[in-house]
Amino acid sequence: MSKIAMITGASSGIGLATTSALAAAGWEVVATARQPETADTLRALAAALPTVQVRALDVTSDASVASCVSSVIDDLGAVDLLVNNAGAGHRGTLEQLDVRELAQTMDLNYLGVARVTKAVLPGMRVARAGRIITVTSLNGVVALPFSDAYNASKFAVEGLMEGLAAVMREFGVHVSVLEPGPVRTPFFAKLGGSVDNIAADDPYKELIDRFTATMAALGSAGQSPESVAEVICQIAADPSPALRYQSSADAAGFAARKLVDPTGNSILDATGALLQM
Ligand code: NAP
Per-residue confidence (pLDDT) for residue 259, from 0 to 100: 87
pTM of this structure: 0.96
Classify 4-273 by CATH class.
Answer: alpha beta
How far apart (Å, rounded) are the C-alpha atoms in residues 93 and 177? 26
Closest-lying ligand 1 atom to the alpha carbon of residue 225: 26
CA 5 to chain centre: 16
Ligand 1 center to 86 CA (angstroms): 5
DSSP state letters, 143-189: PPTTBHHHHHHHHHHHHHHHHHHHHHHTTT-EEEEEE---BSSTTTT
Q: Where are the domains of the chain?
A: 4-273
> What's the pLDDT at 112?
98
What pLDDT was estimated at residue 119? 98
**Contact residues of ligand 1, CB 6 A cut-off:** 8-9, 11-15, 33-35, 57-60, 85-88, 108, 135, 137, 180, 182-183, 185-187, 190, 219, 222, 225
In this prediction, residue 64 has a pLDDT band, given cuts at 50, 70 and 90, of very high
Rounded CA separation 51/42 (Å): 13
Give the integer Cα–Cα distance in Å for 63 and 56: 11
Least trusted range by pLDDT, from 66-75, 91-100, 174-183, 224-233: 91-100
Residue 259 C-alpha to ligand 1 middle, in angstroms? 26
What's phi and psi for 31, nearest 5 deg? -95, 115
Q: Is 245 known to be catalytic?
A: no
The answer on pLDDT for 196 being more than 90 is no
